[in-house]
Structure 1
Amino acid sequence: MTTRRLTVAQALVAFLAHQHTERDGRRQRLIAATWGIFGHGNVAGIGQALVESGTGPGAPMPYYQGRNEQAMVHAAVGYARQSRRLSAHAVTTSIGPGATNLVTGAALATINRLPVLLLPGDSFATRPADPVLQQLETAYAGDVSVNDALRPVSRYFDRVTRPEALIPAALQAMRVLADPAETGAVTLALPQDVQAEAYDWPEDFFADRVWRVARPRPDRRDLDSAVHAVAAARRPLLVAGGGVHHSEAEEALAAFVDATGIPVASTQAGKGSLPYDHPCDVGAIGHTGTAAANDLARGADLVIGVGTRWSDFTTASSTLFQNPAVRFLNLNVTSFDAHKMAGLSVVADARAALAELTGDLAARHPGVRVPDAYAREYGEGKARWERLVDAAYEPRRPGEADLRPTQAQVLGALDALVTEDDILINAAGSLPGDLHKLWRTRGSDQYHVEYGYSCMGYEIPAAIGVAMAAPGRPVWALVGDGTYLMNPTEIVTAVQENVPIKVVILQNHGYASIGGLSEAVGAERFGTAYRLRAVDGTYTGAPLPVDLAANAASLGLRVIRARTVHDLREALAEARWSDVPTGVYVETETADTVSGAPPAQAWWDVPVAQTADRPSAIKAREEYERQVAARRRHL
């Protein structure tokens, strides 16, 4: 047997360069690049291996330099989502704080079912220096390291304590990354001494390997039950989740609803499954949803979930679907999600399941469609909501274009500018709610809001990853001041790599979203404003004298300041055509005012103090008890 003598790290890099996925006859790299920040736990291992492999354009394993470990994972996740989960990035860090900084990003990846390979350094397997710098010591176990914190947020975890153990560990890691039902964060913890240890590797370990991403077809009996349920429904509603995009099932979905007339509501991850102007698209569902979609949800007798994991925002904390006869039909590649809501489950690829469901309906129930009255009802509801969007987007009074914009008017200015080529990225604050309700999605991959973990600081690094996966397309990172301050550092990376992302920074002097929620639950916006302390010790003084535009510029971003709605339109247009990383800074209405979007159209369960002295909390508890009475278990 032919062998090749390499270190463990060298062997891993060489192995990763030969892994591919294939779906529908299209092949691509499974691990397209590696992000890394080096310290003593990986500099002589993975770091040396990347240099040994080759650097610069055309290198077997391209390398990107990050500034923050969590942000590197966010960039990798953005790349994976834009790549429909068929290609991913690896992230390597040193031991200690570098490794633990991965935990938040790993949780985000796993919750959102998106692949990323994590390669943290680990303390010595042979323990010649114990404890080594940054090593965690525990009195009850000698084999625990900080990397064990990654176990609960990883879909697969292994610690490679011997060179020969890399072979099964690496193969298992690739299996999970390429499996649409199992994917998420995968962690291979690499002790720093093992990384540098040499071994004679079988040459076959480095051969090109293709991981076929199958499209599992539905079970015949499950499909028969689904056909019967759809044909019998009088007020069906389809809820499109992220699985529609991951499966590239948008055309199959359109064919199904064109044939049946069933309206489609979307989750945050599923928005864009139909273009906003499709007659069956009724917009967003749940707490951040539209009145059109949520009104249909309350009366639906059959809810068809396609590729959704049914989060509490989507279900309005189990208060939204109020028809006593409502039943659920779930099409999902993951059995765990397919069986939620006590639904009739069809465990299959979304595109394959929708295509077969459409064909079987046509064959067994020719011409089956929703009643005409139902189609008129949701069409009129959609039209009413579009008028609300128009009102939120446009200045309503003479001279208002010369005033500071609301957050909704910022979105309106962007809406008037973009085409289906543009990609919008957001994750946290009040923007996800406004975007979900208001944004008019034109292309299937235009809307990129991470709301599984809603991680502040995701937007800028994710925009870099998305731009790498979609070169030449305008990529917008929309951030409020709160999320900007969490993680602006990857602006430096965008400048270094000349990735021409567009960063829109909205300054509203606080945590606007949580401030509104705080007020609603009787906590009086406590601790949510970015203001100086007043004489009484509260944060009610003047806004903090910070200049986020100057901060972004100091990191290398070209920044355009916009003071009015009119300025904003010009600034956004200039940024869109810029070929360098560019930011637009605008001060919107403060955190003490509404964003300009319609209020929530469904309730969300945030427990309120059961006993309190302050009138605001007492009133909020009364409203909570009224709302929670509508909660139900779907059995």
Structure 2
Amino acid sequence: MTMKKGAALISEYLVQEEVPYVFGVCGHGNVGMLDALYDVKDKVKLVSPRHEQCAGHMADAYFRVKHRPVATLTSTGPGSANMVMSLATALSDSSAFLAITANVPTSQHNRGPFQELYQHNQADFASVMKPVVKRSFQPSRVDMLPLALRQSFNTMVTGRPGPVNLDIPYNVFQEEGDVELPAHSHLDAQHRPGAGDADIAAVVELIAAAKRPALFIGQGATLSEAGAAITELVDTLGIPVITSPNGMGCIPGDHPLALGFIGRNGAYPANQAGRFADLVLTVGTRFDDRSSSSWHPGYSWNFPQTNLVHVDIDPQELGRNYAPTLGIIADARTFVKQLLAAIAGRPALNAGRFVEWRSRIKSWQTEWLEFVQPHFTDSTSPLRPEFVVGTLQSVLPDDVILSLDSGVHHNWFMQFWKARRPQSMLNSWGYSSMGFGVCGILGAQLAAPDRPCVAVVGDGGFTMTPYVLCTAVEYNLPCAWIVWNNFAWGAIRDLQYGLFDGREIGTAFYHGESGESYNPDFAAWARACGADGTTVTRPQDLRGAVEQALKNRRPCVIDVHVDANIRPPSTGTWQLPPIPHKEPVFGKPHRS
């Protein structure tokens, strides 16, 4: 036991747990912690973006790529309050990082000092954090830090991952205690619970009895790094796989049995497979409203007529929206490997069993391709959305990390993008926060410095968070931002046209006097920050602009003018109650 300042104990524990980065913004409340980080700066690098929300999105994206948590550091009051959005985003998508926040000194608790929240409880910032983290710890003495640190790290990564808050009165950073470093956390341990033998046997019997089985995978499969096992299962049984956005890439998107996303803006073959399946094996995902056509029977799924095996590491997700035929609490990769071993003992369960089912799937894939393919080569100005997606699919390399923001561009990518690798397509899915795609790409680049990192973001989301360019230039991060510039909050404008008879208000970007469409010159904005910037208004210029950005390996903005009046063809539905839901544009519901 030795006398240590609280901040020194924290920084030394970060070193011990091999946390390479702290993404933080300075403030009077964390200067003591900053001073301790100075002593370990050769082992833990402080990266300081221009906004706290950005720090959180960076940490979130880092974990999604690396599956190792980093930390953020914010001051007391507004700086830490700015973290709420990024913490909610991470919690919703099961992504982990340690959010270290500062609070007022313990000697001033409940006296209303500068930036204290005290209406209901002293130093009550932890109550702000409770809904958006797995756990908030608030050690008020140095000797409370070792336990809080170890529990924080263990909580982040065990079970369903998620962010944790460590809220520290700023006197604790500077005060000393007779303490030693806590034991190593579970970061490198393997906590992968499996299914019981009886449950595995029951799943095998359900597969043996099925004629039209389908897999549905999501973030749990990605976090478990189950892609190789899932691909082997798909090839062994010859059954199709449907993916949530955060499950994309677990099986290569160009695999013949990879059907893509399901729901309103899903791919037609995915919705057809969901409608006609007699068994759905769901691994590591949940049935939210967008991936289930707002739970309307026959539009994406047909439960309970369809048998459902629901596998998830989080027991709270089992049966949340659909009562499963069989619910199993297990890690995705462990479960799939168990299932593969069990199927190996049943030679009759092979790819030849479901030939007729695959033939129907192939016919749906052909129908869908014939409907959408012509628009991928349309040469128009502004550019057609399909042309943009198709061009990026062909020009971006296999190892690209793609970060998407919230907006209508995300709908197009959900429908048509074919992710080639796991952990290579980053989405704010559960919380759909604008700014995640813009900021997160910085964290992705730090997690994978040798890979090209490209963010496709809306003009609205980019205008919210343009300060990312400063950070990219400061730290020499060669990220590229492709701005989907349609001069509108396009996704919401589409709802106004679809549900409110085109009564557009507050969603288009117009110049107040002339009434003409307005946006800043994003390319000039980039150049003003010291990054590269170019504007694309003609389809023949897009490929060259992207190729040049990849070659230059410099921060870059490509401002692409996209036609706002072309909307993704719905193949399922989505409802904003009590407004009636719309019928699909392509395909029709089927009740089993």
Q: Same fold (TM over 0.5)?
A: yes
Pick aligned residue for 2:508 from 497, 517, 529: 529
Q: CA deviation at 1:205?
A: 2.8
Q: 1:212 to 1:128 in 2, by over 3 A?
A: closer
Structure 1 residues 165 and 299: CA distance shift in structure 2, 3 A = same
* Contact kept in structure 2, 1:88 and 1:117, CA below 8 Å: yes
| Residue 111 (structure 1) shift | 0.7
- Give 5+ residue unaligned stretches, structure 2: 584-588
Aligned counterparts, 1:212-251, within 5 A? 212-251=189-228
Paired with 1:233 and 1:631, the residues of 2 have a C-alpha distance of 19
Cα deviation 1:251-302 (Å, max 9, x = unaligned): 1111111111111111111112221221211221112211111011111111
Structure 1 residues 423 and 622: CA distance shift in structure 2, 3 A: closer
1:300 to 243, 261, 277: 277
Give the whole-Å Cα distance in 1 for the aligned partners of 2:186 and 2:431.
Answer: 33
The 1:352–1:128 alpha-carbon spacing in structure 2 relative to 1, beyond 3 Å, is closer
- Write the mapping of 1:509-588 to structure 2, written as runs, cut at 5 A: 509-522=487-500, 524-533=503-512, 541-544=515-518, 546-588=520-562
CA gap 1:555/1:54 in 2 versus in 1, 3 angstroms? same
Is 129-138 or 570-579 further displaced after alignment?
129-138
Matched, 1:48 2:35: yes
Aligned counterpart in structure 2 of residue 363 of structure 1, from 333, 340, 345: 345
Which residue number corresponds to residue 14 of structure 2?
A: 16
Conserved? CA contact 1:34–1:63, under 8 Å:
yes
What letter corresponds to residue 463 of structure 1 in structure 2?
A: I
Q: For residue 133 of structure 2, what is the aligned residue in structure 1?
A: 154
Superposition map of 1:48-87 within 5 A: 48-51=35-38, 53-55=39-41, 59-83=42-66, 85=67, 87=68
- The answer to whether the Cα contact below 8 Å between 2:573 and 2:582 also exists between their aligned partners in 1 is no
Q: Is the 8 A contact 1:18 1:209 kept in 2?
A: no
3-state SS of paired residue (1:269): helix
Task: Indicate conservation of the 8 Å contact 1:256/1:358, yes or no.
Answer: yes
Q: Is 1:197 the counterpart of 2:195 in the alignment?
A: no
> Partner of 1:603 in structure 2?
573
Q: Quick one: distance in 2 between partners of 1:324 and 1:244?
A: 24
1:186 aligns with 2:149: no
SS in 1 for 2:434: coil
| 2:412 alignment partner in structure 1 | 434
* Contact 2:214 2:242 survives alignment (8 Å): yes
524-533 or 260-269, which moves further after superposition? 524-533
1:567 & 1:251 partners in 2: Cα distance?
Answer: 37
Identity over the aligned pairs, expressed in percent? Answer: 27
Tell which deviates more after alignment, 189-198 or 514-523: 514-523
SS at match of 2:557: strand
Give the Cα–Cα distance (whole angstroms) in 2 for the partners of residues 219 and 442 of structure 1: 32
Aligned AA (2:142): P
* Aligned residue-pair number: 580
The change in CA–CA distance for 1:365 and 1:339 in structure 2 (over 3 A counts) is farther
Partner Cα separation in structure 1 for residue 423 and residue 143 of structure 2: 41
Amino acid at match of 1:531: Y
CA contact 1:516–1:525 (8 Å) conserved in 2: no
Give the unaligned 5+ runs of structure 1.
20-28, 535-539, 610-620, 625-629
Change (3 A) 1:324 1:173: closer
**Rounded Cα–Cα distance in structure 2 between residues aligned with 1:238 and 1:183:** 23
CA, structure 1 residues 211+586, in 2 after alignment: closer, same or farther (shift >3 Å)? closer
Provide the residue aligned with 2:377 in structure 1.
Answer: 394
Check conservation: 1:244, 1:250, Cα contact below 8 A.
Answer: yes
Residue in 1 aligned with 2:586?
A: none
Corresponding letter in the other structure for 2:515: G
Are 2:20 and 1:32 equivalent residues in the alignment?
yes
Question: What is the TM-score of this pair, normalised by structure 2?
Answer: 0.93
- In structure 2, relative to structure 1, the CA distance for the partners of 1:579 and 1:7 (3 Å cut) is same
Which residue among 255, 261, 265 is the counterpart of 2:238? 261
- 2:30 counterpart letter in structure 1: N
The CA deviation at 1:115 is 0.4
CA shift, 1:487, in A, is: 0.9
For 2:317, the equivalent position in structure 1 comes to 337
Once residues 525 and 232 of structure 1 are traced to their aligned partners in structure 2, the CA distance between those partners, rounded to angstroms, is 52
Greater mean alpha carbon deviation, residues 276-285 or residues 426-435: 276-285
Q: Distance in 2 between matches of 1:390 and 1:573?
A: 23
Q: Measure the CA separation in 1 of the matches of 2:171 and 2:590.
A: 55
TM-score by length of structure 1 reads: 0.87
Partner of 1:614: none
1:408-423 equivalence runs, <5 A: 408-423=386-401
CA drift at 1:128 = 7.6
* 2:429 counterpart residue number: 451
Post-superposition shift, 1:533?
A: 4.4
CA separation of 1:357/1:9 partners in 2, compared to 1, >3 Å: closer, same or farther? same
Q: Which one of 445, 459, 476 corresponds to residue 498 of structure 1?
A: 476
1:120 alignment partner in structure 2: 101
Looking at structure 2, the residues matched to 389 and 88 of structure 1 have their Cα atoms a distance apart, in angstroms, of 40
Counterpart contact for 1:460–1:491, Cα < 8 Å: no
Is residue 270 from structure 1 mapped to residue 247 from structure 2 by the alignment? yes
Separation in 1 of the partners of 2:395 and 2:79? Answer: 40
Q: Indicate how the Cα distance of structure 1 residues 386 and 48 shifts in structure 2: closer, same or farther if over 3 A, else same.
A: same
Q: Which residue of 2 aligns with 1:375?
A: 358
Question: Is 2:152 aligned against 1:173?
Answer: yes
Name the CA shift for 1:254/1:182 in 2 (closer, same or farther; >3 Å).
closer
> What is the CA-CA distance between 1:136 and the residue it aligns to?
2.6
Match of 2:484, SS? Answer: strand
Q: Secondary structure at the residue paired with 1:187?
A: strand
Change (3 A) 1:209 1:531: closer
Contact 1:120 / 1:147 at 8 angstroms: preserved in 2?
no
In the alignment, what sits opposite 1:312? 289
Compute the displacement of 1:129 (Å): 9.5
Per-residue CA shift, 1:440-472, capped at 9, x if unaligned? 222233322221211111112211111111111
Contact 1:318-1:631 within 8 A present in 2 as well: no
By how many angstroms is 1:308 displaced? Answer: 0.5
1:594 aligns with 2:566: yes
SS in 1 for 2:339: helix
Q: Deviation at 1:10?
A: 1.1
Q: Distance between the aligned counterparts of 1:337 and 1:307, measured in 2? A: 9
